[in-house]
Every structure is written in structure tokens, then in C-alpha cells.
Structure 1
């Protein structure tokens, strides 16, 4: 595996860690600020640098490159796989009337299933139901033989729109799947939060998919506004600091859900994934140290059963974690690097939702407010 990394800060020139850009048919991961990716020339600009590259774009809430976190930038990680191969397919959720499950089914049906070792997904993030998307992708793999990781694109803390694409200018609604094939490939993955529940346990009494209506028969949005006080005027961004712990009736573990948007007219909240009726919920909060420690634990879990040293680490962390960490945000990347090694190429972004199975399981779950790692070697 060979990698080259580079970045472009707003109003500055491109910088690369190597002058050798002649990689053979590389996978080129391009994560960036939504406004910068809206440029009509960005695809042609990067295509000139990687004429034979497979260019995958995703908008973010912050770019992760090596041990640093950038804003108002575009990051590039180009990867040449020397003993394995990949295939890339796309689907647009707008073609499915925003039905994420249907879009997921359509996406996975485009892949050759024989030998498919891992699927990495970069999805639109502003209105997709991530839980339904995963369910659709997994629907043709009932034996849980396929592991899925990835994330929902971000738009800083604006929640206006997100962009993604493959070999074209970034656009709305796009879902990109990168399928990896090859006996020499090793993938491990993990996720961990670091958030602490507080306040009383409550029950979701009215919901539909990822739309939350009532908790304890009280409008959920009213409960949030009560806790947020003056910060309620900053919803939905302010809710990133107080996500929900959700334990559905049949689940073994609680998951975390954050708010993508609110609807004042219906007094509802739209979350990144399903929030089933009957689930036990609690508000959550976190400290900088707890979040950094969570990243460390995620890295430990991802390294636990590896046979070979990772060469590439794809990190998807949540925008809510970034807001809490603020000026210390790079500490969680440093904690990961401390565990997996400073010579491992690190790329990734801050997202509106993270996809990964729990440890020792291949069934993918949509997470919020976690650090999710996908470690790759060949």
C-alpha cells in the first residue's frame, strides 16, 4: 500500500507530503468544507493531479489528516492498493424519494458479492435515516458476512446540506460505497463514545423512524428546550452538546442519537437514526477528558485482534465531540495515533453520524457522538 496526503486551506495553495503523485489507479479520498466543495472547478482541479484516480468526495464538519484537524479546508488521501482491489458504486437518495432503506438495497445490489470483504460508506448526512440505510445494505447479507463502516457527511454545525460524489462534482443526496476485495486485506474496526447519561430515565412514547415526537407523553422538543434554556434559540446545533442515550426494547446496548434538525410546526426532532417507541432514553453530556479517553479506547479495541500492523486508519468522529473538545480537538486524534502508531496514515472527518459494528460483531449500527476507526492493511 502506498499513500500520498495533501491539503488545501481556504485561499491558499495545495500542499502535499510528497512530490511523487504517480500512483497507479489510486483511491482518492477527498474530505472538505462544503462551501469549498461547491466550487464548479474542484473536480477538474483534483482530476489534473490524479489523472487515473478514483475520486471520492464528502463534505465534513472538520477534516482529519495525520494527527491534525482542519477547518475551511480540503484534505486528500490517495491510496494505491498493490495486492488487492476496490470497486465504487453510488446511489442518490433523492431518486428514492428519500427512502434510505430502498437506496441502500439499490446500492449494494450493484456490487459483485463474491469476495466482497468490506464496504466503506460515505453518505449524504443532512436528511438520511442512517439506520434505514444500513438495514437496506445489509438486507442481502442475512448471514452478517459483510462488515460495513463509514459515516454521514457533515456541514460544520450549520445543518443546511451535505455533499458527496464519485468522479464528478460533489452534489446533494449522494451515497458512495467503496467495496474492498482481496485475500491479503485485513480490516478491523471499533467505536467508543465517552459520554455520560444524566437526569431521569424516560420512555419514548411517540416516534416514527428517526422522527421523535414525545418522551413520557411530553413533546420531546419541549423537554430539550427546557434543558437548554437560553441556548434553545441555537437549536439544532445546541443539541449536539446534549445527545440522547437510546436503549430500544430488544437491544443489548444503548446507542447515542443526535439531532439533525427540528420542526417547530410539528414540535418534533429529526435524528440521524431510528428512535423506536418504548426505548429508554436519557440526556447525555461529556467532558474533554472523557472524549479523548473514548478515542483511546476505540483505538485499543480496533487493535485488539489484529494480525498485521495497520497501514491506513480511517477515522470518523462526530461533530458534537468536536464542539465539546473545541481548541483541544486534536487530542482525540493524538490518542488514536498513540495506540495505532505514528507511522500509520490517518485520514477522516467529523460527521453527522458514524457507521460501525460493535466489537466482535459484524452487524453494523449507526452511532452518534463516537470515534469510529477502520484500520486497513494488505
Structure 2
């Protein structure tokens, strides 16, 4: 496995302006792009033309991760030329929110083969129900397949997100890559670091990812009460107060949900994933030190899961780390944001190369097993070839 990371800075061009000779049918190109590239995608097209036989997927972001740095107005690119691992990339249009499950199911069917090991998925970040998308992905026949990825971002604007498929930009397409064979080793982790506060409340009225009532009170009214002066900045300020949900008091697995939109007329909140009626919900707020330490824990856990696939270590083979962190974490951490990318990278083997993006939702197993939608987490996927 051969690997190289590239960076493009808007108005400056490609850093070092060097394009390694890595084009092949087994080369994967991951591109994480600032939202502004929708208006000028020449650099993405150039990349595709330089590597015509390679397979490219990517998406827009709310900040591009390159090494331990977080950038804006840039492209963060990873080129991975596998030696033994066949690849397949697919895309499917997601017509509207109601099409989310079917879109995930179409991706799963298109990639499902006996020797499929993992799937990395990039979805639009708006007009999608991430929970239903994941349910569709989880219909895959081989339940041992590791599914990770994220929902595209648009900074803190929440206006337009898009994906990349072989150099083309699409505003309504889910894209994914499948990894085949037993040579590829994939690690994963998803960690939060938020504090829960206030009493648990019952979701008394909701439909899919739209929350109408908590304890029979209008959901938007409830949130505004907690946000106070920050309520005028909704939905962006809702990122500061995500919602932790669980099925009942016996459910140890809490999932985090982030606000994507509000409806003043309906007094409702639209989240990135399902908020089922009858579930328990509790507000969350930031703990800065725990946010940073959770990123470090994500790096440690990803390495453990990667090494747990029949190997005692990565044997000094090149490792690629793809970080997908929530835009809410970036808004909260501010100037401290790079502490989480630095601490995560420090936990990984020396020489690991890292790319990624800030997202509107993260896809990963909670600890192990089926994929889940997460919000406000640092999610990490690691790849190396044995």
C-alpha cells in the first residue's frame, strides 16, 4: 500500500505542486472540500484528469482536516494505492428525506459481495435522514462489514452540501467505496465528551427526524427557553446544545442528535437523525477538556479495533486516518479545535497520515456491530493493508 496526502489552498494552488505517479484501478482518492468549491471546481477536475484510472469520492465540509491542522477554503486529499485490495465506488441519488432508507439500501446492494470487508460512505448533509440512511446501509447481508463515513457540511450556513464522484460534484448523491478481501484492515471509533444536564424528558410527539413535543411542550419553545439570548441564532446555536436520546431507562446506549433546521410555525426542530416518539431525551452541553480527551480516546480505540482483526500490530505498514468530526465541536472549541486533531493523531502509529472533515453527522458503529448515526462526536476510521 502506497499513500500520499495533497493539499490545495484556494487562490494559492496545490501545495508543493507535486502529483505522485499512483494512478491505478486500485487507487482511491478521498477529497474533502470547502463549500466554496461548488462555484469553481477546476482543481477537483484537474485531480480527476491526472488520475483517470483511479476511483474518487469526496464531499463538502465545515472545515478540512489535513494532518493535525484544520483549514478553510482548501482541499484535503488522500491518495491510497492498494496492492491487494480491490475497490468499487458507487453513487445513488437521494431525492428527498423520505428516500433516505432506500438510498442506503441501494448502496448496500450495489457493494454487497461475499468478500466485502468495509464501506466508507459520504452523504449530503441536508435533506437527508441520517438514521434512515444508516438503516438502509445496515441491510447489507454480510453483517461483519464495517460501515463508516459522514454527512457533508456547509460551514455553519446549512444551505447547500454536495458530494464528489470521479471529479463530478453532485448536490443530491450519496457516494461510497467498498473495500474487498482480507488484506485491508479497518479500525473505527466514535467518541463524544459532552456533559448531560437537566432531567430526562419524554419525546411525546415526533415524526422520523422532526421533533414536535418534549413532555407535551412545543420542542422549539423548550429549546429557546434553554438557549436564552442564543435562541436568535438558531439553528446554528442549537449545535451548542445537542440532544442525547435513548429508548428507555434500561438502554445504556445514548445517541446524540444535532439540530439542522427549525420551523417557527410548527414550533418544531429537525434533527440529523431520528428522534422516535416515546424515547427519552436529555440536553447536553460542552465540556472543553472532555471534548479534546475524547478525540484522543477515539485514536486509541480505532487502533485497538484495527489491530483486533487478527493482527497484534500494524507491522509498520502505512496507516491512513480519516477523521470526521461534528461542526458543533468546532464552533465550541474555537481556537482549541486543533487540539482534538493533534491528540487523535498522537495516539496513532508514528507516520500515520491524516485527512478528514467537519461534518453534519458521523457514521460509525457505536463500539462494534452495526453502523449508527452520531452527532457531536469525533469519529475516526483507519486503514492499512496487511
Global fold match (TM > 0.5)? yes
**What RMSD over aligned residues (CA atoms) do the two structures have, in Å?**
1.7
Counterpart in 2 of 1:260?
260
The corresponding residue for 1:341 is 349
Query: What CA distance in whole angstroms lies between the structure 1 residues aligned with 2:372 and 2:45?
Result: 35
For 1:49 and 1:235, how far apart are their aligned partners in 2?
42
1:304 match: secondary structure: helix
Does 2:196 align with 1:188?
A: no
Indicate the residue corresponding to 2:340 in structure 1: 332
Does the 8 Å contact 2:89/2:178 carry over to 1? yes
Give the deviation of 1:348 after TM superposition.
Answer: 0.8
Listed as ranges, the matches of 1:86-165 within 5 Å are 86-94=87-95, 98-141=98-141, 144-165=143-164
In the superposition, relative to structure 1, how do residues 265 and 319 fare at CA in structure 2: closer, same or farther (>3 Å)? same
Distance in 1 between residues matched to 2:352 and 2:147, nearest whole Å: 21
How far apart are residue 300 of structure 1 and its match?
1.6
**Residues in 1 aligned to 2:69 and 2:29: alpha-carbon distance in whole angstroms:** 19
* Structure 2 gaps, min length 5: none
- Note the alpha carbon deviations across 1:154-197, whole angstroms, 9 max, x for none: 11111101000311421211101110002111112111100000
* Contact 2:7 2:76 (8 Å CA) reproduced: yes
TM-score, with length taken from structure 1: 0.95
Shift of 1:112: 4.1
For 1:373, which of 361, 376, 380 is the aligned residue? Answer: 380
Is the partner of 2:24 in helix, strand or coil? coil
> What SS does structure 2 have at the residue aligned with 1:99?
helix
Show structure 1 runs of 5+ residues with no match: none
Cα distance in 1, alignment partners of residues 187 and 167 from structure 2 = 30
Q: 1:130–1:366: 8 Å Cα contact kept in structure 2?
A: yes
CA distance in 2, matches of 1:11, 1:41: 12
CA distance, structure 1, for counterparts of residue 301 and residue 52 of structure 2: 37
Matches within 5 A, 1:70-85: 70-85=71-86
Do 2:242 and 2:256's aligned partners in 1 also have CA atoms closer than 8 Å?
yes
Q: How many residues align?
A: 375
TM-score of the aligned structures, taking structure 2 as reference length: 0.93
Off by >4 Å, runs of 4+ in structure 1: 16-19
1:42, distance to aligned residue in structure 2 (A): 4.1
Partner of 1:221: 220
Distance 1:64 1:44 in 2: 21
How much does 1:12 deviate? Answer: 1.1
Aligned partners of 2:61 and 2:359 also within 8 Å: yes
Other structure's SS at 1:320 match = helix
